[in-house]
Structure 1
Amino acid sequence: MRCAPTAGAALVLCAATAGLLSAQGRPEPPEKPRFASWDEVNVLAHGLLQLGNGLREHVERTRGQLGELERRLGSCGAACKDPEGSAAPPFAPENLILTRVLYSPQTQLKAQNSRIQQLFQKVAQQQRHLEKQHLRIQNLQSQMGHLAPMHLGHGVAKRARRKRLPKMAQLAGPAQNISRLHNGGWTVIQRRQDGSVDFNQPWDAYKDGFGDPQGEFWLGLEKVHRIMGERGSHLAVQLQDWEGNAESLQFPVHLGGEDTAYSLQLTAPVASKLGATTFSPSGLSLPFSTWDQDHDLRRDKNCAKSLSGGWWFGTCGHSNLNGQYFHSIPRQRQQLKKGIFWKTWRGRYYPLQATTMLIQPTAAEAAS
């Protein structure tokens, strides 16, 4: 970059711009496959914000100096006339010098403003990534707290045996199955059956609940968390396709509070059965996500925006029972991704006709 020696403020502006450009032109080092500590990511975000604020203050000071130059140019318009009252020719040397002094910094100022805006956008994007990473760290710490005890022998750690995956029962139909579950102290927390309720809702709606309990509805994450408490629970999922086939699944779960983004914790065997390919020995922790609260496990995508509705998305492809309701199968594959699906039963691109979700605290199951 070349800087014109016009004024002290312009020189400072050019130096700041050149530094920013050289920093932007430098290739980014490859991302290290590790989690940064929360202190490190906070220092990074704070440093970037300080840099952006410093650049903005510098631009404001330069803008004031340019205003002074504009006032000088205006006064020169009256002083630079010949005795007969005609204006000086536009190519007069003093006019050219003042024009260069004024408009060269203006051009640089516009470019600097654009770069500052880009910097703030990058800072905001980095902040979103940092929030996601912080949530993952919290989930990992939570999983560490639920790890089975390690038995040591001869200096070698031996993992405790994994619990067996509960057997899945397939009944005649959702209505009959729901009736039996109600008799066992189960609570319905979700129902889809006709598309009468829009499930593409923001975070607050999914937290508080919406819809009609007599038809389609979502009970609310906070209510579900209070019912389940800190103890383990069972989740039952009822699925029905458009050919009249039904499937019933039951598996143990634990639901965290809002401070964990209502993370759904699954044991390792259940996570594997549901199609997850990457999880820790203690299982899988899936935060809840909506289009305005992105907590999924994908850094490069907001699953709730790409698909539809709010859900424990993981990597976007395993399931979504709160997706868009289709009365017929769309032709476009991209549209199919937005539907209601359970990958390990009918596949990701088959929009289901009806679903019901129920929960039962473990203590209630033992008492029934």
Structure 2
Amino acid sequence: MKLALILNTIDPRIGGVMIMGDRGTGKTTTIRALANLLPEINVVADDPFNSDPTDPELMSDEVKALTASGQTPAIAQMQVPMVDLPLGATEDRVCGTIDIEKALAEGVKAFEPGLLAKANRGILYVDEVNLLDDHLVDVLLDSAASGWNTVEREGISIRHPARFVLVGSGNPEEGELRPQLLDRFGMHAEIHTVKDPTLRVQIVEERSQFDQEPNAYLDNHTDNQKALQDQIVNAQNNLANVNIDHELRVNISQVCSELDVDGLRGDIVSNRAAKAIAAFEGRTEVTVDDIRRVITLCLRHRLRKDPLESIDSGYKVSKVFRQVFGLPDEEEADIAA
């Protein structure tokens, strides 16, 4: 789970993470902690859409017009936005609303930005995503696919950039996710309750220390947090320099083909995730081991399955991966050892 989240912060184009697992396993806590690891970003000052001052793809139409006229917008810095999308949210709250009266009376587009505007260039987190209303799922699918949110009301049309890392969590016992939405998540992680008593005690003790003295607990982990933040920033900067050999790319696509994965998203995400993990570890060449560590996360939720089955545990992906890459099965490796 942590690896998948970190890789998405290094390369948001991976497409987000779906985290499914038992209740009380720290899914929400881990996801909300992610925002503190990210460096501040440059935005256009007083812009409700967190527009990038240099990248036209991440600018609102107003900022584009301003820069096209030769003016330089004021720049501010802000923490990467982390936006929660509540299950009971209305479509207007998610997409934004247009004040029709003001538009008619004053002749201006009076737009009240929604959650998608606030999440631009940040993280959009949906807890219990498998319980989300279908109409909101459709809205998320449109924005995730195009990177833009369009609001149409009474003949007035407004659009703004909505590029975000989509992170969802849920308990599979409470319902399955629609296949269309599941496919939009770049990676899928499964979380199970820790069985080892020693680890459980350690988790309980850590939680108790935090509850008793939160500030002291945070101070004790500041250095580790800063080191991880620096590692992520370096990986973001070095990502463009990472190469993946043509033969490895062919093998990734062969794995996807033999697993009968629909479409090409599995191939694309696996390549991006492998490059991100190499950048995270300070390397410029992707290795077979990099692919092994990410390919299950990237493909397990894309396999065609019987309606009565749950998502593949990863065994099928791992088996085909080892066959294609010429590695011994895990059982054979254990026997040889």
Answer yes or no: same fold by TM over 0.5: no
Higher helix share: 2
Q: Over alpha carbons, which structure has the higher Rg?
A: 1
TM-score for the superposition, normalised by structure 1? 0.24
TM-score for the superposition, normalised by structure 2? 0.25
Higher RCO (CA < 8 A, seq sep 6+): 2
